[in-house]
Amino acid sequence: MTASTHRPTEVTATATRPTASTSPEPTSESTPMAAHQLRRLLDLGLADLTGVSAATLAEHADALPREPNATLAIHPSLATPRVLAPLLSRAGKEGFVVEDLTDLEQFSDIDGLQVPDAPLYLVHDIDRGDDLRNWSPNEALPEITARGRTPLTLNEGISWLLQEPEHLEPGSCFMTIGTRKRTPKGLDTRTPALWISGGTGRDGKERKGAPKVGWCWAGNRHTWLGFASATGRST
């Protein structure tokens, strides 16, 4: 979904679910340890945004295990997606939340995710899920769990891009289907995603090329959106 209220246009008309390739490999062979990743977040202004001192954040990061291929994730209790989005940057333009996602604060983790109750934690072996492009969120979730992986939450997706912004590319962006909104009738039909603004509609021309927190319909497919996932989380 773009910034407008219309249904996404980048949807294929095929009726048969695409066939997945072999299980994905992590997109990075190694990532810096938590303390190094925290320094980047502090440079971006995380302490000022959250009102939590750099020393306190460092204590949380230092308590985490030293493990390779682990990304330092920011829990929503420390900073929500709307707070974190402007820290994203691409081509000199800061990230933003699409204007029609006014209820973003009502989205939360889906059932079954084991997200640590800690301000900072680790997410392991993140993959963008390119091999699941052209699958719908409804189709991708059971495939991800069948592989023994866990879908990223929106906060985790933003946290990943804050450390490795190169994973947001034209034509290769991703959904974070570990975050959904609950309703009295079940799950809201929107699924959060991270992509690059085209500068159209309410995004505004000045935002063309900027990182964007948007949403897509859970039953629709997109050739340019994968499904980010990980092998697990730890503290």
Q: What is the pLDDT of residues 5-25, one digit of tens each?
A: 333 333 333 334 555 544 344
Q: What does the pLDDT read at residue 32?
A: 72
- The answer to whether residue 38 sits within a structural domain is no
Number of domains in the chain: 1
CB contact at 8 A, 232 and 20: no
The beta-strand segments (E) located in 5-143 are 70-74, 89-90, 93-94, 96-97, 107-109, 120-124
Alpha carbon 176 to its chain centroid, in Å, reads: 5
Query: Distance between CA 197 and CA 204 in Å, rounded?
Result: 9
Q: What does the pLDDT read at residue 107?
A: 98
Domain of residue 115, residue span: 69-234
Above 90 in pLDDT, residue 198? yes
Considering the entire predicted model, what is its pTM? 0.88
pLDDT tens digits, one per residue of 158-178: 999 999 999 999 999 999 999
Q: What does the pLDDT read at residue 18?
A: 55
Bridge partners (DSSP) of residue 108 are 180
- The answer to whether residue 120 sits within a structural domain is yes
- The answer to whether residue 49 sits within a structural domain is no
- The answer to whether residue 226 sits within a structural domain is yes
- The answer to whether residue 11 sits within a structural domain is no
pLDDT tens digits, one per residue of 102-159: 999 999 999 999 999 999 999 999 999 999 999 999 999 999 999 999 999 999 999 9
CB contact at 8 A, 174 and 223: no
Q: What does the pLDDT read at residue 222?
A: 97
Query: Distance between CA 46 and CA 101 in Å, rounded?
Result: 23
pLDDT tens digits, one per residue of 69-103: 999 999 999 999 999 999 999 999 999 999 999 99
